Amino acid sequence: MNHIPQYLALTREYLFPAGCAICGTMLLEAEEAWYGLCHTCRPRFEIEAVKRCVSCGRPLISEQERCIPCREGEGFSFDGAFVLYPYTGAYRKLLKAYKFGKSHPLGNFLAQKMIDALTAFAPFPESGLDDCAGFGWVPVPPRPGKIRQTGWDQIDYLAGRLSRLYRAPVCRCLKRLPSKSQKELNRESRKTNLRGRIISAQKPPVRVLLFDDVITTGSTLDACAAALKAAGAETVYALCLFYD
Ligand SMILES: [Zn+2]
Ligand SMILES: [Zn+2]
């Protein structure tokens, strides 16, 4: 890896110390500053090697192929999914520090973990991701007005990093039309709320790696995958950081 960005991150940390996002300790090495986490806290975010639901990618407790919500649901438009962490404790703290602290170093860390997940777990054996032809990253689009409110799109920063780490273009083809915030709705309304509200405004890549920060019911990813396929994508695999 080119170490210059890491040393720039260290210089920045020296001038404007943020400290480790989890324990607050000072970051004194280039790699720590680049990832925004100290050497002690970083290993806490190893991805658990457990059996996962073949539909939504969450870790499974039983010996079944699918988790209970997926067995009871109607299925998804995406062809597979993988999620890295539960949205609890230190994991939750990590996402909040990234999102609300607008921390680029934590974005570097989270993007790296997504790539680690793809290489270590090879969760989509049918995908042919090993050769990058026709493959592209597609971010889940923010709600209209959201970027204007906060001035930053944490998913878009990840997109840039992912594209650099796993060489494939980013295609920002999905657009979200005004709809209610998914957070305020129950499971059933979440599905209907997004119907037809996410569209692909241009031709998507043939093979898509769709990604987002948190998966709850999977409705948003499902609506995105449906829009991508309606616009011509052949396969859509979903990658998500946290499951709630
Ligand atoms: Zn720490
Ligand atoms: Zn599932």
pLDDT recorded at residue 193? 77
**pLDDT surpasses 80 at 190:** no
CA distances from 170 to 41, 77, 128 (A): 30, 21, 18
**pLDDT surpasses 70 at 131:** no
Q: What is the mean pLDDT of the chain?
A: 90
List the shell of residues around ion ligand 2, using CB closer than 5 Å.
53, 55-56, 67, 70
pLDDT tens per residue across span 33-55: 999 999 999 999 999 889 999 89
Q: In the chain, pLDDT over 90 holds for what percent of residues? A: 66
Which ligand lies nearest the alpha carbon of 93?
Answer: 1
The closest of 18, 39, 15, 17 to 29, measured between CA atoms, is: 39
* HEC string for 147-202: HHHHCCCHHHHHHHHHHHHCCCCECCCEEECCCCCHHHCCHHHHHHHCCCCEEECC
Which ligand lies nearest the alpha carbon of 69?
Answer: 2
Print burial letters for 188-218: b (CB count within 10 Å at least 16), e (below 16): eebbebbeebbbbeeebbebbbbbbbbbbbb
pLDDT recorded at residue 73? 87
Rounded to whole angstroms, how far apart are CA atoms 157 and 211?
12
Which ligand lies nearest the alpha carbon of 38?
Answer: 1
For 126, how many CA atoms within 13 A lie in the half-sphere containing its CB? 9
Helices (H), the chain: 4-15, 30-35, 68-72, 89-100, 104-121, 146-150, 154-165, 187-193, 219-230
**pLDDT surpasses 80 at 2:** no
pLDDT tens per residue across span 89-112: 999 999 999 999 999 999 999 999
pLDDT recorded at residue 126? 76
- Calculate how far, in angstroms, residue 26's C-alpha sits from the geometric centre of ligand 1: 8
pLDDT recorded at residue 113? 97
pLDDT recorded at residue 132? 61
Residue 186 structure tokens: 């129950």
Which ligand lies nearest the alpha carbon of 41?
Answer: 1
- Calculate how far, in angstroms, residue 58's C-alpha sits from the geometric centre of ligand 2: 6
